[in-house]
Chain A
Amino acid sequence: MLYRTAGQFKTSYKADMALFPVRQDAVLLAVILALVWGVFPLLASEFAFQTLLIPILIYALAALGLNILTGYAGQLSLGTGAFMGVGAYACYKMVTLFPWMNPVVAILLSGLFSAGVGVMFGIPSLRIKGFYLAIATLAAQFFLVWLFEKWGWLYNDNASGAIQVPNLDMFGIYVAGPQASSLVQYYVVLAVVTLMTLLCINLTRGNLGRTWKATRDMDIAAELIGINLLRSKLMAFAVSSYVVGVAGALFVFMWRGAAEPNLFDIPLSFRVLFIAIIGGLGSILGNYLGAILIVGLPVVLNTLPQALGLPISSATVEHLNVMIVGALIVFFLIIEPHGLARLWALIREKLIIWPFPH
């Protein structure tokens, strides 16, 4: 009876279009929000912040950005890592050029730069489709990472070639750099991620979302019913790259603390792609589920042998991790190609009709 919807009637289209037409969904969300905003930060250890909470949120946000482009608008991208890099470097340049700038504002602005670069690399998408486009996004991936390395201005010509996050404060509290506490950083990340998620939910359920999905499902028909494909695709590139760029800025400023160019290389792009696909393309929730799995799994695997007292070297564990993640990807694709979000939807449907299945 947990998910009974009987007795919940909609009396207006407005009510039917509410974010959570089913009351139980709203309750569930309220519980989750209470947990992440109130309970987790109280209980979490430094280790939990750094290995689970903060990275899960950031990776989920990056996957959300990618999902807009690939899951909603149907344009496969393999260059997410590089666009995260654009966001991170843009943020770095802003806070070092304008030290008075509010760091959160800088993070939100840095997305604009990656959006611009994203649109530039998105222009070919009108003519290049499918896997050809995916390879084309690799051009962005390799070119941008090369640029991060060669263009000294980007990292203020540091001898190390890396960017180092300085101490940044907001109203007297350190939010980034070595002095910042994990708790504060967690809240900053959580606030940004919550805001972005809300905006993305609105975009994807409205007119733009339908435009994207139409472009994805059948581009010729989409154009014939009045969709300007170039505009629709570029809009997807812009919004997606914006979100990805913000995630990239958070990634370096709120979590890693420093970054070298190769941090944004292909493995990062793929990790984000896994999260989006295992979570579920064309889903918002899926990004979170995918991030929990992909970020959480190695942590579990790392602590497991110790807990069991197995004498396995940490390098072996690392490699086992990679192997298991690979196997899991195949496994999940086989049991549910539409991802964890679809799995949850199925469970939810069962709950709605439970305990009277017919």
Chain B
Amino acid sequence: MLNDIFIKPFADMAAAPDFLLQVLWEGLVSGILYALIALGFVLIYRSSRIFNFAQGIMVVFAALTLVGLHALGIPAWISVALTLAVMFALAVTIERVVLRPLVGQPDIILFMATIGITLFLIGGGEIIFGGENKVMITEELGIPTGSVLLEPWGGLLILEQKDITAVLVAAALVVALLVFLNRTRMGRAIRALGDDHQAALSVGISLQTVWVLVWFIAGIIALVTGIAWGARAGVSFALEVIAYKALPVLMLGGLESITGAIIGGLMIGMLEKLFEIYWGQPLLGGNTETWFAFVLALVVLLFRPQGLFGERIIERV
């Protein structure tokens, strides 16, 4: 028993390093998508204290819209542009209809409102697009679908080209976001808002504009993740679960930390895969990915309540 837990998994890893690499690669692909989604959360949280539960359904919604538009005969890239327009309209609507009337309410109320938005989008999405699983328009978007074979240590490592594309695009988006946040006036306003509302307002950008913007960014992120994940697993409401995975990432990385979201996402993506393959499947009957990330985050937080990257919380009276 102890052998199965503490020795055998590592022996297996050493015996087949190419397989280990394969596992890590798969974890990395998920991880970067988790990181991306977590980043969307962090931006919204920092600028408005809203814990946006609708992030997951936005992924589904964006992917469904894209596929749906294409099915109407609209060329792929125009569909992407139109989907972005839809996400922008969604951001504006949410700000006008939901956020503005709820300004200043307790956190939990705003959180509930985003669950309300989630339900609304689920119901609406099902009516407009139907609930069945759809195929992502991977090829139409020019995403290569072949695979790259590598032979490290004489073993075999298969990298799907669409995964490589996903990683590259996601990484590019992360970098673009970082540049935007650090280099532009608007970006700095968003970051400042997390620290001090007054300071942010003095930059001369209205709160409303910032909110529409962060929700739109969340929409863009949703579309990219939707395409990347949809290319692997198809497009359906089941996609929503990957947004849940962003939650433990937030716990680990801290609700307000941009670095935390990125590193936390990669860590969780890889660790949960490792655990599933080397411990979960042989010992626990598999499917441990549903909870592993949460339990990991829970354990880490027990020892570091501020998360891995959060600042120490100082309580005063």
Contact = CB atoms under 8 A, between A and B. Distances in A.
A89 B284 CA distance: 20
Interface in B103-153: 105-109, 111-113, 115-124, 126-127
Interface string A274-293: 10010001000000000000
B290 A146 contact: yes
Contact of B251 (A136, A142, A266): A136
B115 A270 contact: yes
B305 A127 contact: yes
A139 interface: yes
A326 B302 contact: no
A320 interface: yes
A142 B112 contact: no
* 4 closest Cβ pairs, A-B complex: A326-B119, A323-B123, A326-B120, A322-B123
A329 B116 contact: yes
Given A139-B297, A274-B115, A333-B112, A221 B317 contact: yes
Contact of B297 (A127, A135, A146, A322): A135
Contacts of A132: 251, 255, 301, 305, 307
Contacts, number: 133
Contacts of B120: 322-323, 326-327, 330
B117 A330 contact: yes
Interface of A: 70, 76, 124, 127-132, 134-136, 138-139, 142-143, 145-146, 149-150, 220-221, 224, 266, 270, 273-274, 277, 281, 316, 319-330, 333-334, 337
Given A150-B285, A330-B116, A139 B298 contact: yes
Contacts of A319: 122-124, 126-127
B107 A329 contact: no
Given A329-B116, A337-B106, A324 B123 contact: yes
A314 to B, nearest CB: 13
Given A135-B247, A136-B298, A142-B290, A321 B108 contact: no
A127 B301 contact: yes
A127 to B, nearest CB: 4
Contact of A138 (B112, B287, B294, B317): B294
User: Interface range on chain B: under 10, 10 to 19, 20 to 34, or 35 or more?
Assistant: 35 or more
B294 A326 contact: no
Contacts of B124: 319, 323
A139 B295 contact: yes
A319 B129 CA distance: 11
Contacts of B251: 132, 135-136
11 contacts: A124-B301, A135-B251, A135-B294, A135-B297, A142-B244, A281-B108, A323-B122, A326-B123, A330-B117, A334-B102, A337-B106
A277 to B, nearest CB: 5
A176 B119 CA distance: 33
A262 to B, nearest CB: 11
A277 B108 contact: yes
A316 B102 contact: no
B302 A150 contact: no
Given A224-B317, A277-B112, A325-B119, 7 more contacts: A136-B297, A136-B298, A220-B315, A220-B317, A281-B108, A322-B119, A326-B118
Contacts of B121: 326
Nearest to B306: A132
B294 A143 contact: yes
Contacts of A321: 123
Contacts of B301: 124, 127-128, 132, 136
B288 A128 contact: no
Contact of B107 (A130, A266, A277): A130
A131 B287 contact: no
A330 B101 CA distance: 10
B95 to A, nearest CB: 13
A328 B51 CA distance: 19
Interface string B275-297: 00000000011011011001101
B137 to A, nearest CB: 24
Contacts of B295: 139, 143
A333 B294 contact: no
Contacts of A328: 116
B109 A337 contact: yes
Given A139-B298, A322-B122, A329 B127 contact: no
Nearest to B255: A131
Nearest to A316: B127
B97 interface: yes
B122 to A, nearest CB: 6
Given A322-B122, A326-B118, A128 B305 contact: yes
Given A131-B107, A135-B294, A220-B317, A150 B101 contact: no
A139 B101 contact: no
Q: From A76, A145, A327, name the one whose CB has the most chain B CB atoms within 10 angstroms.
A: A327
Nearest to A136: B298
Contacts of B105: 333, 337
B147 to A, nearest CB: 31
B37 interface: no
Contacts of B90: none
A277 B112 CA distance: 8
